[in-house]
Amino acid sequence: MSGLLVIFSGPSGVGKTTITRAVIERVRNAQLSVSATTRPIREKERDGVDYFFVEKDEFRAMEASGEMLETARVFDNFYGTPAGWVRNRLDEGKVVVLEIDVQGAILVRRRMPEAFGVFILPPSEESLLERLRARKREPEDVIQRRFAEAQHEIAAARSSGAYDLFITNDDLDRAIDEAVGAVESKRVENV
């Protein structure tokens, strides 16, 4: 494979989606992985572009046959990364970007140890709590639950071995530059 598989993870509110999008925009031939899901398609979504929309039986069959790099259940729906789709893009020389949680990253690294893992950290726990509150999306009890999950996720990321690089997002432009530079450097190594 001549491409590069990049995993981005980080707790809610840390800016990982913003950083991931910037990497996709700035790194040549980079694209976000398309996940499979069992949830219903929403208005303006396109099958094969936003997600691969599949029935639960088909998803379970794909999972059982090893066609998924990782899977997760969110409420009553399943999500996963189709291995064949990722490998095809890598064979085309693409940089395939996954934005997944720590558990997913661990599973992907087991199946594809050559993947490059990047974890986005907050400048401090206090700043993460402030960011979660500043979004004004959720009541305090939900914010506290997300904060506790974030603390657990950071600890799990540090001990998992799934990440090659930890980037502290204390300045968004600097964090983006660091992420882009790291992905481009890793890509050069792989050529």
Query: Domain map of the chain by residue range?
Result: 4-190
* Three-point CA angle 6, 38, 80, nearest 5°: 20
Instruction: Give the number of residues written for the chain.
Output: 191
User: What would the pLDDT profile of 59-106 be if each residue is shown by its tens digit?
Assistant: 999 999 999 999 998 889 999 999 999 999 999 999 999 999 999 999
Rounded distance, CA 176 to CA 137, Å?
A: 25
- Residue 146's pLDDT is what? 87
Pick the CATH number of 4-190 from 3.30.565.10, 3.40.20.10, 3.30.70.260, 3.40.50.300: 3.40.50.300
Q: Is 80 helix (H, G, I), strand (E, B) or coil?
A: strand
Rounded distance, CA 58 to CA 63, Å?
A: 9
pTM of the model: 0.90
Task: Count CA atoms closer than 13 A to 14's CA, side-chain side.
Answer: 30
- Residue 191's pLDDT is what? 64
Tokens of 168: 């502290």
E strand map for the chain: 4-9, 30-32, 36-37, 52-53, 68-74, 77-82, 95-99, 116-121, 165-168
